[in-house]
Amino acid sequence: MISRHSQQEDDAGGMMVMKTASGEEAAEEMDNREDPSSSADLSGGSNQRRKLAAPPMDVSLDRSEGSLLSEDALDTEDEALDTGDDLDVNIDELDTSDEAEEFNQHGDSQEPDVGAGAASSEAVAGQRAAEESRLWRSVVIGEQEHRIDMKCIEPYKRVISHGGYYDQQNAIIVFAACFLPDSNCDNYNYVMENLFLYVISTLELMVAEDYIIVYLNGATPHRRMPGFSWMKKCYQMIDRRLKKNLKMFIIVHPSWFIRTLLGITRPFISSKFSSKIKYVNSLQELGEIIPMEYVHIPPSIVKLDTELQDTAVKADKRGNSAV
């Protein structure tokens, strides 16, 4: 009984093995079966395509072998992306667009620009030279060089002006005493010294041939009248050529002070120069001697002249009525 039972079990096991083998063979035969839609004969004898079997893939989310999240699959993807170079990149070290732009701005500002620096230096030097020329002027008077402080005499430069020409080429130089500084101003002597140099140097520039000086004495308070020493120095510093070419020295609206002052200076001036001095009591009388088209007369002197003429007319009327 026992042997028969064992034999039956062996027969049953053999049948199961055979069935299993037959099932595997059937599956293999099914895989190897030609599929017309997926395989093709490379020889060109058939239009059928060969069906390739895909390897089994486990789409579960665990990390078991064959799953999408398994370490082998991740390693395979890393190997596929590896180009052979060790690209060790730190994201924190990458420059963003803002950081790069800021770096460029700082870099540009810190880089020394030799051309711009040279141009800036030349511009500064030019500005300094222009300012130096505006504040100071070098002149040669009597073969001696002098420097004029142009800043201190800026308010008084109107004291001398060009009044045009007479006889076509002879200059008319106008000297307005009303524009002289007050004697009580700060650094009066310093201002007058520089103003004197300015007047003499300007006179030399304006005069080429014969010339006339028109001295506007009216509307000048006593505190603005030049002193005796200043006028004496002016006369002594005038070049011989200027003294010789001076044809007339006209004093308009002379006061008793200027008459007295000129009387004191007569011993220090030549007789020829004294003979050139002429007194004029009105602008109308001045217009009879020289053309007045380009002679600038300050408003204060015009007003004074009008008042003096009105006074003279009234005096004449009183004299005529008395007769």
**Mean pLDDT over residues 9-22, rounded?**
46
- Position 73 scores a pLDDT of 46
Lowest mean pLDDT among 34-43, 115-124, 144-153: 34-43
- Position 264 scores a pLDDT of 83
Reply yes or no on whether the pLDDT at 16 is more than 60: no
Lowest mean pLDDT among 115-119, 143-147, 224-228, 298-302: 115-119
Higher pLDDT, residue 157 or 81: 157
Reply yes or no on whether the pLDDT at 241 is more than 90: no
Residue given tokens 């520039």 in the structure block:
205
Q: Are 212 and 247 in contact (CB under 8 A)?
A: yes
E strand or H helix at 291, and its extent?
A: none
User: What are the CA-CA distances from residue 89 to residues 7, 84, 86, 92 (Å)?
Assistant: 72, 15, 9, 9
* C-alpha–C-alpha distance, residues 143 and 148, integer Å: 16
* C-alpha–C-alpha distance, residues 171 and 205, integer Å: 11
**Mean pLDDT over residues 251-273, rounded?**
87
Give 37's pLDDT tier (boundaries 50, 70, 90). very low
- Mean pLDDT, all residues of the chain: 74
Domains of the chain: 158-322 (3.40.525.10)
**Mean pLDDT over residues 278-306, rounded?**
96
